Structure 1
Amino acid sequence: MSEKSIEKATAGTSELESTQGRTTIADTVVAKIAGLATKEVSGVYALGGGTARAVGAIRDRIPGSSKNHSQGISVEVGEKEAAVDIQLVAEYGVAIADLAAGIRSNVIASIERMVGLHVVEVNIEVQDVHIESDDDEATDHGTGAGTGTSEPRVQ
Structure 2
Amino acid sequence: MSEPHPPSDLTITGSRGVTRIEDVVVGKIAGLAAREVSGVHALGGTGARMVGAFRESFAGGANIQQGVHVEVGEKQAAVDVSIVAEYGVAIHDLAEAIRSNIITAVERMTGLEVTEVNVTVHDVHLEGGPEEEPDVHADHASRVQ
- Conserved 8 A contact 2:45-2:82: yes
Does 1:56 find its partner at 2:52? yes
Once the two structures are TM-superposed, the CA of residue 38 in structure 1 deviates from its matched residue by 0.3
- Conserved 8 A contact 1:74-1:85: yes
Secondary structure in 1 aligned to 2:128? Answer: helix
Amino acid at match of 2:90: A
Counterpart mapping for 1:18-37 below 5 A = 18-37=14-33
The structure number with the bigger radius of gyration is: 1
Counterpart mapping for 1:7-26 below 5 A = 10-26=6-22
Counterpart mapping for 1:19-98 below 5 A = 19-62=15-58, 65-98=60-93
Once the two structures are TM-superposed, the CA of residue 10 in structure 1 deviates from its matched residue by 3.7
Q: Normalising by the residue count of structure 1, what TM-score does the alignment of the two structures yield?
A: 0.76
- Conserved 8 A contact 2:8-2:74: no
Separation in 2, partners of 1:46, 1:66: 15
Once the two structures are TM-superposed, the CA of residue 20 in structure 1 deviates from its matched residue by 3.5
Separation in 2, partners of 1:12, 1:65: 29
- Conserved 8 A contact 2:86-2:125: yes
Separation in 2, partners of 1:18, 1:71: 32
- Conserved 8 A contact 1:91-1:131: yes
Q: Deviations over 1:61-111 (max 9, x none)?
A: 22x522110100000001110000000000000001110111111100000
Amino acid at match of 1:24: R
Amino acid at match of 2:52: G
Separation in 2, partners of 1:21, 1:67: 33
- Conserved 8 A contact 2:31-2:66: yes
- Greater helix share, structure number: 1
Q: Which runs of 5+ in 1 are unaligned?
A: 1-8, 138-155
Secondary structure in 2 aligned to 1:55? Answer: helix
Q: Percent identity?
A: 56
Amino acid at match of 1:60: E
Separation in 1, partners of 2:16, 2:102: 28
Q: Which runs of 5+ in 2 are unaligned?
A: 132-145
Separation in 2, partners of 1:19, 1:130: 50
Secondary structure in 2 aligned to 1:127? Answer: strand
Secondary structure in 2 aligned to 1:84? Answer: strand
- Conserved 8 A contact 1:16-1:80: no
Give RMSD over aligned pairs.
1.9
